[in-house]
Chains A and B, each alone.
Chain A
Amino acid sequence: MTAHTFRDRRRRAVNRLMLALTGVCAVLTVVPLVLIFGYLLREGASSIDLAFLTHTPKPTGETGGGMANGIVGTLEMVGLAALIGLPVAIGAGMYLAESTGSRFATAVRFTADVLNGVPSIVTGIFVYLLVVVPTGGFSALAGSIALATMLVPMVTRTTEEMVRLVPREMLEGGLALGLPRWRTMLGIVLPAARGGIITGALVGIARIAGETAPLLFTALGNQFWQLDPRHPTAALPLQIFSYAISPYDDWHRQAWAGALLLILLVLTLSLGARLVFGRPERRA
């Protein structure tokens, strides 16, 4: 009995120690986000005002102005990237989920994983050569293509995982009714995986919304309004970058405000994804 109580006590102590250690790690994971957000709030919150949201940048040296064109440009480019990238990614993800054994699918899966790890600046240079040089100029479209290039592998892999999670009985149920396979996939399996795919897409979009490097050689940035996607266009991350490395205090202030706005945008998208994910379909 005594041996047991000693071992029990030891076991409990080790358990407590390990729990504490993992708890510390968990806190360390959250700390950066809290610090970043707190710092941005302190530095940037006071600079987010109506002018910041509705005006374009003032000429160099003048104070005031805002990032309205950058906000709209980011939304435009991210929207276009989603429009280009999501259909491709969801289609590819379904293909991968359906073809388990094939060598081609294995190759595509591996390529998607490698593409996921390609530094975003490389993606930018790639799209510069592929789109900017042949079309003869920087454009929002080129920026969108660069962002879509990053979005596709991410969403492809999550779509694949989510489609795989749909019980096989769904596919069999559809096929047993005499539905063609494509119809079963699109009408039954894909909707069953909808929640997870939307979450994956929103997380992916949140990720590309803050990207700066792929836009440097593609969208370039712009001090003025530009809604035509064939021309250089402003984007929040680009604006933040150029203001942050400038020598002017007013621009620094605006860079902080832009950064806060960007993180709010990303946070909103992530929370939206969480809301979708947190509402699981009722299962029997």
Chain B
Amino acid sequence: MDAQPLQRPRTPIPTAAPVPPAQQPGPAALPTAIEARDFSFWYGANQALNGISLVIPDRRVTAFIGPSGCGKSTFLRSINRMNELIPGTRHQGDVTLRGESVYRGEVDVVGLRRRIGMVFQKSNPFPKSIYDNVAYGPRVNGLARKRADLDELVETSLRSAALWDEVSDRLHTSALGLSGGQQQRLCIARALAAQPDVLLMDEPASALDPIATQKIEELIYGLKQQYTIVIVTHNMQQAARVSDFTAFFYMGSLVEMGRTDLLFTTPKEDRTEAYITGRFG
């Protein structure tokens, strides 16, 4: 990645040796984590997604961009079936996680959600202590039986979310006393503690100030070594900074998906170009 059209996070994060752009693979050439096949979704009579087919590669950051109401969040929430909580919704087509259908057959939704972590637009720490926020999921799911194991898991998760140094001396105080950015990183730590395979992020920085946003972006950049990350953002600079691949949604359809550097410099579709150059949306 030597031709950088847009900024990376300022703090350098050690990554693998850069590969020349021409040799870098597209999304379909990499191992697949998530795949959607002709997936449509309705809220009552209102169709929100219109035959989405795409491939999300393993251990990369994939960003969904598009104007409000384009279906990017709906699609994200279809991956871990969170949309089912809303009455009157239905779907067609399928989404697979590591080749297994998320919707068909006897899928255990609870088990599915354990494999897919989620971070929400509005940080939603539980009204518990910082420690218990991170420990609650593993404790219930039986990931750590012994106290020492749990302590270790909490520390690792908080370190992975770059929050440990700020909270290690007050683990047992209320999570609601943290700042907005810290709360969001706590939610990331909480999701990581469940040891998921995939991390879904629904506009994780849209309610945060620039400094906190930068921290979250640096975090995403580091986390992709271990996790497949899908991030919804309405901020195109953010998509360009953090993601390897970008999918552009418009009015419930997937317009274009490709390598982020290519999509932002040489979009194939006119609508993509119009959107990224700020002519609508």
Contacts and interface: CB of A to CB of B under 8 A. Distances in A.
A169 B176 contact: no
Given A167-B124, A172-B82, A283-B176, A177 B194 contact: yes
A258 B32 CA distance: 76
B126 A281 contact: no
A247 interface: no
B110 interface: yes
Nearest to B119: A176
A178 B183 CA distance: 20
* Interface size, A (range): 20 to 34
Interface stretch (B49-57, B134-142, B267-275): B134-142
Interface stretch (A4-12, A44-52, A138-146, A185-193): A185-193
A281 B187 CA distance: 19
Contact of B118 (A176, A183, A281): A176
Interface string A2-28: 000000000000000000000000000
A180 B110 contact: yes
A175 B127 contact: no
B238 interface: no
Given A172-B85, A178-B137, A192 B174 contact: no
Interface in A237-278: none
Nearest to A193: B127
A174 interface: yes
A162 to B, nearest CB: 13
A147 to B, nearest CB: 31
Contacts of A188: 126-127, 136
B137 A177 contact: yes
* Interface size, B (range): 35 or more
Contact of B113 (A167, A177, A187, A192): A177
Contacts of B78: none
A174 B133 CA distance: 10
A183 B118 CA distance: 18
Given A167-B124, A174-B126, A178-B110, A282 B87 contact: no
B124 A281 contact: no
A192 to B, nearest CB: 5
A34 B104 CA distance: 67
A173 interface: yes
A227 interface: no
B114 A178 contact: yes
Contacts of B82: 172, 175-176
A283 B118 CA distance: 21
Interface in A139-179: 167, 169-179
Interface string B124-153: 101110000000110011000000000000
A176 B126 contact: no
Nearest to A188: B126
B117 interface: yes
Among B80, B82, B118, B187: residue with most chain A CB under 10 A:
B118
Contacts of A283: 176
Given A177-B117, A177-B136, 4 more contacts: A173-B187, A176-B80, A176-B82, A178-B115
16 contacts: A101-B87, A170-B124, A172-B82, A172-B120, A172-B124, A173-B126, A173-B187, A173-B190, A177-B113, A177-B136, A177-B191, A188-B126, A191-B127, A191-B128, A282-B174, A284-B123
